[in-house]
Amino acid sequence: MERNIPNNVNFSVLSPEQIQKIHRASVTVLSEFGVKMDSARMREELQAAGAQICENDIVKVPEQLINKCLETVPKGVSLYSRDGEEIIKIGAENNIYFGAIIDVVNVLDHHTNKVRKMYREDVKNFAVLEDYLDSVSYTTPAGMFNGVDPRIASQIAFLDTCRYFTKAQSIVTAECSGFEDCLHVAQDFVGGKDKLAEKPFIMYYAEPISPFMHVDESVKRIIVCAENGIPITYMPYSMMGGTAPVTPVGALIQNNADVLMGLVMSQVIKPGASFIYGSMPTVFDMKTTVGSYGAPEFHMCVAASADLADFYGVPFYGSHCLSDAKTIDAQSVAEFEMSMMSTMMSKANLVHDGPFLDHANNITLIGLLLFDEMFYQTKAYVNGVDTSDEMIDLMLKTIKDVGPGGHYLEERSTLKNFKKIWYPKRFKRLMENPDESDLMDRLIAEVDHILETHVPKPITQEQEEVLASYEAEFMSRYQ
């Protein structure tokens, strides 16, 4: 499987000077203005570490504590398959790995291109298709599908993902208790707490409430992850003009301060705890009041946030294949491509959410195939230009041999290198294109074929017994 994608194209949204300015402003926010901290335990831990506790549970974090925590936070993270194979390895290299979503409330039916409610069978279908695609390194069971009590939907989605998806997982739950359920399942699934901490096949996702509200539920998740050796992504989602300042720099300062706060909390609980920088500063659309997933400012700010994470030397959690359109149409494909290209060129390491439609209200199986095509398309772009001495010498020899007016079809260098060019699997480059596109029909047929033929590697009988036992317990809670 092809999962490491070094980025050989130099691309940054922020200059080193701009990064320093945003960092300094974020430190000012944390040290002079402070953030709201609901968790009594975390206030105590922070105070013991040198933070100042003020009226109304406002916590101010001195710069020296921020710097100390930046020294102890790991500069990389590794994630594994459910069988213990290393799937994701992020360190000094700027590697990038893409993930997807298993479930949300609605699904875009791939046969009708119309939205309907999502059910448990759809969760399985998404898991199977994502397991098949080499471009997907991890997925997210969100527990938002219909037909199961919402208080245990995240847990059931996680169980089915363990059954039908062999790679890594980024868990999302409505409450920390739901995550603790999933954590216990994962520990028993691999044979114990220590084994899971040694080779985690799960990471967790948590958010503060913008602006600057670090509520008890979010803080609990940081504590649980730090104490159990599970990597956590802490990602503020803010809307410029709504829950963040209206300018990109204001949103970046705010989100960066909130992320640094999460980083400090994780290191105060356990120095060396794995932490992943996440940031989603989008626009508040004044015409419609939505937080846009297709806005160019959103993807620019995500790439800028990746620059900040790179400055701190920690992994970054980006986004891809997002659209505000409801179905697969010209708008959605254009927005998919824009977000994909922006993220592939950025310094992101783990990329989530795709393929999201209707500003995160539905997902689509066909969108996964479009993502897979764009994945290899944009990968070819970021491979960059080989200017090694060996390549330059070969090209000079070839140019000399061909001479003016010649052609390169029969040259040894052509035979040796032409397969390095990206050739589309689903898009067409015909000399004569048909009058009507058959792309959608071909995508539908491909989805159906994969779902009919791909069988993910089965789990062991013992692992199925673990899952079945937990499922019976979860289901019995709210009967």
pLDDT digits (tens, 9 = 90+) for 189-202: 999 999 999 999 99
Question: What pLDDT band is residue 251 in, cutting at 50, 70 and 90?
Answer: very high
State the helix-helix crossing angle for 461-476 and 176-190, rounded to 10 degrees: 160
Please say if the pLDDT value at position 309 is more than 80: yes
Question: What pLDDT band is residue 478 in, cutting at 50, 70 and 90?
Answer: confident
HSE toward the beta carbon, residue 464, CA cutoff 13 A: 7
List, in order of start, the domains of the chain with CATH numbers: 72-382 (3.20.20.480), 389-420 (no CATH)
Please say if the pLDDT value at position 1 is more than 70: no
What tens digit of pLDDT does each residue of 89-104 get? 998 667 899 999 999 9
pLDDT at site 9: 81
Nearest to 171 by CA among 151, 160, 190, 155: 155
Nearest to 172 by CA among 101, 75, 273, 119: 101
Is residue 19 classed as helix, strand or coil in its secondary structure?
A: helix
pLDDT at site 402: 96
- Euclidean distance between CA atoms 426 and 376, whole angstroms: 11
What sections of 8-119 are H helices per DSSP? 16-28, 40-49, 63-72
pLDDT at site 92: 64
Mean pLDDT (whole number) for 49-66: 97
- Euclidean distance between CA atoms 450 and 435, whole angstroms: 28
DSSP 176-213: HHHHHHHHHHHHHHHTSHHHHHHS-SEEEEE-PBTTTE
- Euclidean distance between CA atoms 410 and 248, whole angstroms: 52
Please say if the pLDDT value at position 171 is more than 60: yes
Please say if the pLDDT value at position 2 is more than 60: no
Please say if the pLDDT value at position 335 is more than 70: yes
